[in-house]
Amino acid sequence: MRVPFAGGYAVKQATFNVYDKFTGEIIDSAPLMTETDAEQAIETAYDSLDTMYKMPAYQRREALEGVARMINSKRRELVDVLVAESGMTLKQAEFEVTRASNIIRLYSTETIHLNGETMTLDADPRGRNRKGYWYRVPAGVIGAISAFNNPLVLLAHKLGPAFAAGNSAVFKPASLTPIAASKVCELFIEAGIPATALSVLTGRGEDLGTALARSSRIRVISFTGGRETGERLIRAAGVKRMVMELGSNCPNIVCSDAHTETTAKTLVDAAYSYQGQNCLHAQRILVQESVYDEFKSAFVNQASKLRLGDPRSPTTDIGPMISEASAKRVEEFVVDAIRLGATLLFGGHRSGVFFEPTLLENVPPTARISCEEVFGPVSVLIKFSSVKQAVQIANETNYGLQAAIFTNDSANQAYALRNLNFGTVMINESTDFRVDMMPFGGFKESGLGREGLRHAIENMSEVKTVVYNLDSEKE
């Protein structure tokens, strides 16, 4: 695999293999880059800042529009790669490509919104005869570090705002899924982003990510991944801006007035899509006791229709997990919950890289799955009596990305909105919902900052203020 690196193509003797997650076969290899490579890439990106600064907004817009078009033109190739390297089903991979193209197109429109405003300085006596304004300038070199579960969507949410705001970037894709992302990075250069302004680093995240974080040349780190890795990057980073999405344990509250069948179908999709490898996965499903049995029956009936198998088959709903190690980790969560007294309603079995869609109930709050992120196709049913109790249970986690409540009662909605300690609260929609212009990020240990158009642009730019002393114009 050719990887755009430091204004050209790196020729490395050391490589690592990328495997088909279903067949286990080697599908490609990628350069095993080192900290020295990272330092070279950072220097090249830093040296390109003047070129990017002089690149007018219309050219940046046209380049991003071109990337969006080319992603669509290479849809078949990208879908095939995504299915192989990530284990996504065909339906999921098709959506990934469509969404990535749309995200980059959305960011192309943000180039015209990099505005500022004038300031009324003489509102303070010291500002008499002074005029001023502020505007946004590029932050500098962006260090973008991505996760395996949405290789192209996450790339789009990092490189889209980086280039829209006029920065250069060094991009580190997940080592388990580097191929499709690297192919899209080539499209940025083909579309007109200067070759020196984008480098791609493939290899061990522990080495390359740390090198990006600790470099004084990097001004913003945009990271999606696990909390422990995020904490390590923060410790290494020094004085720079950190934008991080670090996962969640999303609660979905189902009240007695919710439509049972519709809500059950929505939450089955939210629980098991992408094999549960999704930070918005409906991990905890809280159901009011008066409709608990009815909802459980509807949920089990809907989930029983899901088909496990070859992700290349158009009838497959659940493909392989990203690795056998990840599947074993999910298995440990289930074993832990059952050991502590949980009841297994369905699923619970692992076969190599496959893990069955799984539902538990009677899970004690001390179980790992009650408070940690499982990142797999396992959900928990929890019975509650009042909305106040449900919100209290929902908040009993160190995460705070998204929460949801299904109810038409305005008092219940108002209580949930006021008291759920999460970055986003959904009303009659699952936690798995996201439209890419939304501000996206969480409270507590779910991360720092926000992604999503204007919010991402603000994180990847700086405010420069200008003040004129008009007294110098005296005769």
Is 331 a catalytic site residue? no
Tell me which residue of 304, 297, 287 sits closest to 261, measured CA to CA.
Answer: 297
CA triple 180-279-385, angle to 5 deg: 155
In one-letter notation, the amino acid at residue 458 is: E
Catalytic residue among 65, 186, 245, 361: 245
Reduced DSSP (H G I as helix, E B as strand, rest coil) percent helix, strand, coil of the chain, to 5: 45, 25, 35
What radius of gyration, in Å, describes the C-alpha atoms of the chain? Answer: 24
The total number of residues shown for the chain amounts to: 475
At 238, give phi and psi (nearest 5°): 70, -145
CA triple 59-221-226, angle to 5 deg: 125
Contact 230, 244 (CB under 8 A): yes
**CA 76 – CA 79 distance, rounded (Å):** 5
Tell me which residue of 152, 156, 145, 154 sits closest to 108, measured CA to CA.
Answer: 156
Tell me which residue of 325, 322, 330 sits closest to 374, measured CA to CA.
Answer: 330
Specify the DSSP element, H or E, that contains 222: strand 218-224
Contact 266, 428 (CB under 8 A): no
In one-letter notation, the amino acid at residue 67 is: V
Catalytic residue among 65, 279, 356, 451: 279
Tell me which residue of 146, 162, 143 sits closest to 154, measured CA to CA.
Answer: 146
Is 255 a catalytic site residue? no
Tell me which residue of 137, 142, 135, 183 sits closest to 160, measured CA to CA.
Answer: 142
Indicate which residues carry an active-site annotation. 245, 279
